[in-house]
Structure 1
Amino acid sequence: MADTPQQPQREPIFNVPRVIAILIGVMWVVHIAADLALDDYGLGNLRIWFAFIPDRITNSAQWQGGALPLLWTGFTHAFLHVDYMHLFVNTAWLMVFGTPVGRRYGASGVLAIFLLGALAGAIVQSIALLFSINQFAILLGASGGVSALTGAAMRFIFEPIVVGKDPETGDPVALGRRTATLAGVFANPRSRTFIIFWMGLNLLIGFAPFILGASVAIAWEAHIGGFVAGLLLPSVLDGVARRNQRP
């Protein structure tokens, strides 16, 4: 009997973990549905109930729902976006830095980092507004969560691959990349350069009103808050993984 030739397998164009694809899908579905189904009044109500509004913390009586939406808007603001360009940029950034984190920590790790990063961004944004001349803002967008995934990726993507031996054959086997300590992240010239560039870019956005004489509607404080949270969280996730492996 003649062998049947096998069809070559097609590689997906975007080979991202499922959890990243789901996050991106949810963000796009929410944005497209709101764009198609809501008028300006409906869109305003959507943002009032699901975007993060720091002013609720001190002036809750002036807002629909009072302080109650603060229980969820620290997370839900990450799934709302200003426009399609805002959504596209966050989608691209999420694919780039969420993919290695997803492959390392799985769906639960990605969701923990993304959601806690979004919350950290909202908290830092609220603190920053206390020292700002313009003390009103509505925070929406996945930037805080995406920044957290970027910070988490800094803990391992620039580290060398650890090589071990197969217990049966003795052949060398790639075991993955180790998680760097916080000191190690800044000792590594590649991760240090990336962090300096990333932080510098966000600080430049923050000083734009003084340099350009005009404000830029980018929540750079939330970016930094999410990024710092992301830098710290791999230590927690690795610790949980080690405890789960103990007999």
Structure 2
Amino acid sequence: MSEEGQTPENPTPREREPVFLLPAGVTILAGVLLAVHLASTLILNQDGQMQMLFWFAFQPYRIVVASMDASIAIPLLWTPFSHAFLHAGWDHLLINLAWLVIFATPVARRYGAGAMLALFLLSAAGGAALFAATTLYSQVYLIGASGGVAGLTGAAIRFMFQPVLWARHPETGERVVLGRRLAGMREVFANPRSRFFTLIWLVLNAAVPLVPLLTGTSLSIAWQAHLGGFATGFLLVGLFERKV
């Protein structure tokens, strides 16, 4: 007979809290973005960085010159996606990482790491497409995860502000959390919180081209990639919704 207060021989192990609260897919994607930037800044010299931009940054002007030399257009097969892993500096990277953590997390928890990464890449390509449509002859290039992150933002807006759905367990009668439903476009703009966030986000990004006209200073912000990426994630997230 064991004495009162004695510690049992086989105590039930306490559940350990996870060290990282981020989903594994988000942590890995953020780590890849960080590793690429570290490698590009600490390992590559100036010539190497120029070569990296030539082969992996998205350059819409390749479309124009492809008629003269088709080989120049070959990087267009991957640069609409690969540009999302390059950044101009630490401030550029850290802002994108912070935004990624905030909005990739709910998407990854709802759909899984694979769907989150697919939305990130598709949105990066959608942002590159709008960037190309507005800068085709300007010989500029696009880098940064902003388009992909904007797409995850657009995807999250579709459900994160919707009310939580509950149901009764058929056997126990207990309340069970079903999650948040994916809202349609009308519902997004009918909900005051999602409408306010979406409109503010769209207005701020659409206003970027007006800043030089109003202040006389230029901003190196690819607003087209933001808007194109946001629209892509917003419209395509329904493809990943699980059928119940």
**Equivalent residues in 2 for 1:63-74, closer than 5 Å:** 65-74=71-80
- What's the secondary structure of 2:73's corresponding residue? coil
**Residue 8 (structure 1) shift:** 6.8
1:234/1:8 Cα in 2 relative to 1: closer, same or farther (>3 Å)?
A: closer
CA shift digits 1:109-143 (9 cap, x unpaired): 1011100000000000001125xxx8231100000
Contact 1:48 1:64 in 2 (8 A): no
Do structure 1's residue 40 and structure 2's residue 43 form an aligned pair?
A: no
1:83 to 67, 84, 89: 89
Structure 1 residue 62 displacement after superposition: 8.5
Which protein shows a greater Rg? 2
Detail structure 1 runs of 4+ shifted over 4 Å in the superposition.
4-8, 61-65
The aligned runs of 1:172-187 (5 Å cut-off) are 172-187=175-190
| 1:31 and 2:37 are equivalent in the alignment | yes
Secondary structure at the aligned position of 1:207 is classed as helix
**Farther-moved stretch of structure 1 (106-115 vs 55-64):** 55-64
Instruction: Give the alignment of 1:108-119 within 5 angstroms.
Output: 108-119=114-125
TM-superposition CA deviations, 1:161-194 (whole Å, max 9, x none) = 0001112201111110000011111111101100
Instruction: Tell me, yes or no, if the aligned pair for 1:156 and 1:178 is still in contact at 8 Å.
Output: yes
Is the partner of 2:160 in helix, strand or coil? Answer: coil
Change (3 A) 1:148 1:63: farther
Residue 61 of structure 1 and its aligned partner are, at CA, apart by: 7.4
| CA positional deviation for 1:204 | 2.2
Q: Which runs of 5+ in 1 are unaligned?
A: none
CA distance in 1, matches of 2:135, 2:114: 32
| Cα shift at 1:10 | 3.6
Aligned residues: 237
Map of 1:9 onto structure 2: 16
Instruction: Decide whether the 8 Å contact of 1:116 with 1:145 is kept in 2.
Output: yes
Cα distance, 1:6 vs structure 2: 5.2
Question: For 1:135-150, what aligned pairs fall within 5 Å after superposition?
Answer: 135-150=138-153
1:229 and 2:225 equivalent? no
Letter in 2 for 1:162: L
Partner of 2:55: 49
Partner of 2:209: 206
CA distance in 2 between counterparts of 1:213 and 1:63 reads 38
**Does residue 190 of the first structure (1) align with residue 193 of the second (2)?**
yes
| TM-score (norm. length: structure 1) | 0.90
User: 8 Å contact 1:56–1:63 — kept in the other structure?
Assistant: no
Alpha-carbon offset, residue 82 of structure 1: 0.4
State the identity as a percent. 45
User: CA shift at 1:5, angstroms?
Assistant: 8.1
